Amino acid sequence: MTTLVIANKNYSSWSLRPWILMRHHGIAFDEVMIPLDQPDTRQQILRYSPAGKVPVLVEGAVVVWESLAIMDALADSHPDLPIWPKAPAARALARSVAAEMHAGFRALRAAMPMNLARRFAHRDRGPEVAADVARITAIWRDARTRYGADGPFLFGADFGAVDAMYAPVVTRLDSYSWPVDPDIRVYMDTVMALPAFREWRDQGLRETWVVPHDEVDEEPIADYRAPAQ
């Protein structure tokens, strides 16, 4: 039995990554959702991971945490799926830019936390954020130029681990109305049109939890959260 432990779908960018990859590729799993910012959140997560963070993949006696490690584990257990590019040069680039996402872009993360329920007007969020966005869009354009000729994703026809790693950035650029070039917008729209992403987003918008530290201190121009029943 495979279990994926995640946090709130409206806010948890790290949880989105393996979830959307697994759902898109039809990898069956049971979902355990642990809400963030609750008195027992860390205690509940520690039942699954010694790191005390989500996501966590549990496959029998095997426990894997950290999004990138989970994707590598999925590639090992499902070698038939195009989780990473098959060609060595493409795979090397894919692993490099996925790791860059995992370790970097802290300014963007801090200034533009993932929040699927709200849209904000574009504003100057500082030179470090602008530099992060410039680097990310350069990564996307480079991958598309070099390896994307046969399909709409970063490495071509298949939605893979790299697309999953950058999916939360797609939501951030969209939610914070960041202006992008047309080719970048096309890629963003492709990711957000995936049935797996739409399922995640629809479920996130039905959540009622509010995580204060992931709510920026500004008035949204739109609120998509489903009304209380």
- Note the CATH number of domain 88-201: 1.20.1050.10
pLDDT value of residue 212: 87
Q: What is the DSSP secondary-structure string of 132-178? A: HHHHHHHHHHHHHHHH-TTSSBTTBSS--HHHHHHHHHHHHHHHTT-
Gap between the Cα atoms of 10 and 33, Å rounded: 12
pLDDT value of residue 157: 94
8 Å CB contact between 204 and 15 = no
pLDDT value of residue 14: 96
pTM of the model as a whole: 0.95
Q: Is the pLDDT of residue 108 over 70?
A: yes
Three-point CA angle 218, 220, 223, nearest 5° = 145
Q: What is the location of CATH 1.20.1050.10 in the chain?
A: 88-201
Over residues 203-224, the mean pLDDT reads 92
Gap between the Cα atoms of 194 and 24, Å rounded: 8
Is the domain defined by 2-80 classed in CATH 3.40.30.10?
A: yes
pLDDT value of residue 228: 59
Q: What is the location of CATH 3.40.30.10 in the chain?
A: 2-80
pLDDT digits (tens, 9 = 90+) for 60-82: 899 999 999 999 999 999 999 99
pLDDT digits (tens, 9 = 90+) for 125-159: 999 999 999 999 999 999 999 999 999 999 999 99
Q: What is the mean pLDDT of the chain?
A: 95
Task: Residue 118: name the closest of 191, 174, 34 by CA.
Answer: 174
